């Protein structure tokens, strides 16, 4: 299901947009300020973000620039009453993919949303947002902000496994079954050492994402 985040401080406009996307069968999250937008983007991946320019605690372009720097790859449609070329340039420079001036008709909104969601799947889906990390599966990289975290191939596979299976505790045996070849002689002690090294690298680069240990149960991804 396509998941949309609406960041719009006008309650009526926010609700109208939410109802319109819901009628299309999309899943919708609604927030009304910059702080909540940052919080939602830190823990949830979206297929589309509809972002208002003027918000009560800041500017939408600031939210956009901040999260693009952190690795956000989701298409973003800016909504604003600002229609000058300078404003549009600022919006695009901050990382907007398209720009819609208020007031607008639903036909125009529909056309722009359709175009954004038509982007190549590899561009959108190859990058997985996990807290403040961006995982690129094809490039086999994990990035925190503008820095790539140096991971060994197996460390990357373990991180990718947890990112794709959030909020689930896995025992060492299950991790071995899912990440290692069937004829592997890897032990639970090896898993513990891999997790320790991975956890240390994430911490050293400043990420709040970690692999939590649940004694006697296993490990899980933690996004604080």
Q: Which of 94, 125, 156 is a domain's end point?
A: 125
Position 122 confidence tier, pLDDT thresholds 50, 70, 90: very low
Q: What is the CATH number of the domain that holds 28?
A: 3.40.50.2300
Domains: count for the chain: 2
Which of 72-76, 117-121, 197-201, 220-224 has maximum average pLDDT?
197-201
Which of 61-75, 86-100, 128-142, 197-211 has maximum average pLDDT?
197-211
Q: What is the CATH number of the domain that holds 187?
A: 1.10.10.10
Asked if 180 and 107 sit in the same domain, the reply is no
Is residue 189 assigned to a domain?
yes
Q: What is the span of the domain harbouring residue 201?
A: 135-223
Asked if 145 and 198 sit in the same domain, the reply is yes
Which of 89-98, 140-149, 209-218 has maximum average pLDDT?
209-218
Q: Token pair of 20, please? A: 């319109």
Residue showing tokens 């800016």: 78
Asked if 83 and 186 sit in the same domain, the reply is no
Instruction: Write down how long the chain is.
Output: 224
Q: Which of 77, 105, 125 is a domain's end point?
A: 125
As a whole number of angstroms, the distance between CA 42 and CA 74 comes to 13
Asked if 68 and 139 sit in the same domain, the reply is no
- Tell me, what's the pLDDT at 147? 87
Asked if 98 and 139 sit in the same domain, the reply is no
Asked if 113 and 144 sit in the same domain, the reply is no
Q: Which of 125, 147, 177 is a domain's end point?
A: 125
- Tell me, what's the pLDDT at 33? 97
Q: Token pair of 53, please? A: 């320019």
Asked if 54 and 22 sit in the same domain, the reply is yes
- What digits encode the pLDDT tens for the residues 70-91? 777 788 999 987 665 566 666 6
* CB contact set of 133 (below 8 Å; sequence gap of 6+): 71, 142, 143, 144, 149, 163, 202, 207, 209
Asked if 156 and 212 sit in the same domain, the reply is yes
Is residue 130 assigned to a domain?
no
């Amino acid at each position: 299901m396509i998941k949309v985040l609406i960041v719009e401080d006008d309650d009526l406009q926010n609700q109208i947009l939410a109802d319109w996307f819901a009628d299309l069968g999309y899943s919708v999250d609604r927030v009304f300020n910059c702080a909540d937008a940052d919080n939602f983007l830190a823990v949830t991946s979206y297929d589309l973000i509809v972002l208002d320019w003027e918000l009560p605690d800041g500017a939408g372009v600031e939210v956009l620039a901040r999260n693009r720097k952190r690795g956000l790859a989701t298409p973003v449609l800016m909504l604003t009453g600002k229609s000058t070329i300078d404003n549009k340039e600022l919006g695009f420079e901050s990382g907007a993919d398209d720009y819609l001036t208020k007031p607008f008709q639903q036909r125009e909104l529909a056309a722009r949303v359709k175009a954004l969601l038509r982007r190549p799947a590899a561009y959108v889906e190859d990058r997985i947002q996990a807290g403040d990390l961006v995982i690129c599966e094809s490039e086999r990289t994990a990035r925190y902000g503008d820095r790539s975290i140096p991971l060994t191939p197996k460390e990357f596979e373990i991180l990718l496994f947890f990112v794709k299976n959030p909020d689930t505790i896995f025992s060492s045996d299950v991790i071995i079954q899912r990440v290692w070849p069937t004829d592997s002689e890897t032990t639970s002690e090896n898993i513990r050492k891999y997790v320790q090294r991975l956890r240390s690298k994430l911490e050293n680069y400043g990420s709040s994402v970690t692999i939590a240990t649940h004694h006697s149960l296993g490990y899980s991804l933690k996004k604080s």
